[in-house]
């Protein structure tokens, strides 16, 4: 079996194809939607931290008492009400791949995408693959309604 020697023409042709492909790939990737910078407000909304400050999120009576909770799909917030009517909140966006959690039962918040489970008491990961706890969202209760506080 013999190995053919590379000609100058084939090396030069390979170099040109590689260079042109790299330049075209750079410009295509640079102009893709994934490369566009998101503003801070949009990025915060992805984790439920930057939504509108106006209006109540819910009424306290709408939130099932522990061991349950209420998931708000619009602002992507999970509201938890303890047995003494204290309300706390977490982002409803799973820290694994950004899916929205779908249930709160037996003091566990569950993500449907890959079965990550979080504590309803503090948002900590009970079981993965989620790498981090759900971010806490500050809320206040005024006149029986829950408002986001900043």
Rounded Cα distance between 37 and 42, Å, is 10
pLDDT given for residue 44 in this prediction: 39
The residue extents of the domains of the chain are 41-148
Indicate the pLDDT class of residue 76, thresholds 50, 70 and 90.
very high
pLDDT tens digits, 84-96: 878 999 999 999 9
Comparing CA positions, the residue from 104, 57, 96, 116 lying closest to residue 80 is 104
Higher pLDDT, 90 or 11: 90
Lowest mean pLDDT among 9-18, 41-50, 77-86, 115-124: 41-50
Residues of the chain with pLDDT > 90: what percent?
A: 25
Task: Return the structure tokens found at 14.
Answer: 């390979």
CB atoms within 10 A of CB 140: 11
pLDDT tens digits, 79-122: 998 878 789 999 999 999 889 999 898 999 999 998 899 998 99
- Is 16 a residue whose pLDDT tops 90? no
State the pTM of this model.
0.62
Distances (CA, A) of 69 to 8, 32, 39: 71, 39, 31
CATH topology of domain 41-148: Rieske Iron-sulfur Protein (2.102.10)
Rounded Cα distance between 38 and 146, Å, is 29
């Amino acid at each position: 079996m013999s190995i053919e020697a590379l000609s100058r023409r084939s090396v030069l042709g390979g170099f040109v194809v590689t260079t042109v492909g790299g330049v075209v790939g750079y410009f295509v990737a640079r102009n893709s939607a994934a490369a566009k910078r998101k503003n801070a407000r949009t990025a915060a909304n992805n984790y439920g931290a930057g939504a509108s400050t106006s209006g109540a999120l819910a009424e306290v009576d709408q939130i099932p008492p522990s061991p349950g909770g209420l998931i708000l799909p619009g602002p992507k917030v999970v509201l938890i009400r303890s047995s003494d009517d204290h309300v706390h909140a977490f982002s409803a966006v799973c820290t694994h791949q950004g899916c929205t959690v779908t249930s709160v039962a037996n003091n566990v918040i569950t993500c449907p995408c890959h079965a990550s489970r979080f504590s309803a008491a503090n948002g900590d990961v009970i079981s993965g693959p989620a790498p981090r706890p759900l971010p806490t969202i500050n809320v206040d209760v005024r006149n029986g309604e829950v408002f986001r506080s900043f």
